[in-house]
Amino acid sequence: MSAQQFRDIASNGLWKQNTGLAQLLGLCPILAVSTSMVNATSLGLATVVAMALSNLVVASLRNFIPYEIRIPVFILIIAALVTVIDLLFNAYLHSLYLVLGIFIPLIVTNCIVLARVEAYAAKNDPVASTVDGIMMGLGLVWVLALLGGVRELLGSGTLLSGIEMIIPGTSALNVFGDDYPGFLLAILPPGAFFALGCLIAAYNAIKARLDASARRHPQAPAALEPPPGGAVEGAAG
């Protein structure tokens, strides 16, 4: 995979085709688990692993999967990998596993995973497909982390609540102090819609400004390289 291809995949996954802000896929887990930064980021990272492994397996087996039954096969592959992730959460992060609950198994039905498997992994090599899965997943992670952080900060005045479930001995940051009354709407379902709507509006505004700037200042074409041998044809000798 070339450096340019890597940059294109990273740019698409993290920004241009961001699954949460541009494609608006997987909104159910985005809205449901973003009540805190730790919960949102944890589910996002689990989705990254599921997407990367699913893309890798499908890209490796794409020439052996009949076209007519590709969707059921893709779902079976995703389900097997998510089951492994679910069992690992239960074994090593049990407290977090109890908090996230059904949303880890529901990664199987997350349209983000199946969409990337069908649109990219089924048509490209394993390395590029794995990188695509990672970058698309990380694009979702930063949206979840930002959304969860904003809702937690406004709702309870803290950040990283529940971090002790992952790193024992640590505790949340009490940003606004013990006297902060909390903004209940921020951590209720309507608050998730308001926060996501504001985030999408900000994303669209920034993207529009970047696009306008790119149109006003187009990149200059790359300089022509001299022909082999170092001599320029037609130059005086």
Is 49 domain-assigned?
A: yes
pLDDT of residue 75: 96
Q: Judge whether 148 and 35 are in contact, CB under 8 Å.
A: yes
Q: Is 200 buried (19+), middle (13-18) or exposed (0-12) by CB count in 10 A?
A: middle
Is 237 domain-assigned?
A: no
Nearest to 134 by CA among 9, 37, 28, 3: 9
pLDDT of residue 220: 54
Is 112 domain-assigned?
A: yes
Tens-binned pLDDT, residue by residue, of the chain (237 aa): 789 999 999 999 999 999 999 999 888 888 889 999 999 999 999 999 999 999 999 999 999 999 999 999 999 999 999 999 999 999 999 999 999 989 999 999 888 999 999 999 999 999 999 999 999 999 999 999 999 999 999 999 999 999 999 998 998 999 998 889 989 999 998 999 999 999 999 999 999 999 898 888 776 555 444 555 544 444 443
Q: Residue 69 has which token pair?
A: 């039954």
Is 227 domain-assigned?
A: no
Is 160 domain-assigned?
A: yes
Is 221 domain-assigned?
A: no
**Cα-to-chain-centroid distance, residue 110:** 12
The domain containing residue 78 runs over which residues? Answer: 3-216
- The total number of structural domains that make up the chain: 1
- Beta pairing, strands 158-159 & 173-174: antiparallel
- Please report, for residues 68, 159, 177, 206, the alpha-carbon distance to residue 172 in angstroms, rounded to integers and kept in the order given: 50, 6, 12, 31
| Most distant pair of Cα atoms in the chain: their distance | 83
